[in-house]
């Protein structure tokens, strides 16, 4: 399983998306299970490397049915953000 130890001073929010598989109703109880889906590196525009971490949360309703996924990407820059 991929892992990442990010320096919080160098983190940017990359992207985020949601996928809904079934209707979610008022009163439903959702349980989310998160995992790191991928970690990879790319060359940065200023000569440093950037590390990307893709996370995924799977949401199930009270019947155990998967109803949605939330995916997000964090980016660790080669230097502190704003510095």
For the chain, domain boundaries: 8-76
Tokens for 73, please give them: 């990407």
**Residue reference for tokens 């009163």:** 27
Q: How large is the greatest C-alpha to C-alpha distance in the chain, in angstroms?
A: 50
pLDDT of the residue at 43: 86
**CATH, range 8-76:** 3.10.129.10
Tens digits of residue pLDDT in 19-74:
999 999 999 999 999 999 999 999 877 667 899 999 999 999 999 999 999 999 99
Residue partners of 76: CB distance under 8 A and separation at least 6: 4, 6, 7, 10, 11, 12, 50, 51, 52, 53
Q: pTM of the full predicted structure?
A: 0.78
């Amino acid at each position: 399983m991929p892992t990442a130890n990010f320096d919080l001073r160098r983190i940017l929010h990359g992207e985020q998306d949601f996928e809904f598989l079934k209707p979610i109703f008022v009163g439903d109880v959702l349980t989310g299970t998160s995992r790191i889906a991928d970690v990879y590196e790319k060359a940065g525009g200023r000569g440093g490397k950037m590390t990307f971490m893709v996370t995924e949360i799977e949401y199930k309703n009270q019947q155990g049915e998967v109803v949605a996924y939330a995916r997000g990407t964090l980016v660790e820059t080669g230097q502190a953000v704003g510095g």
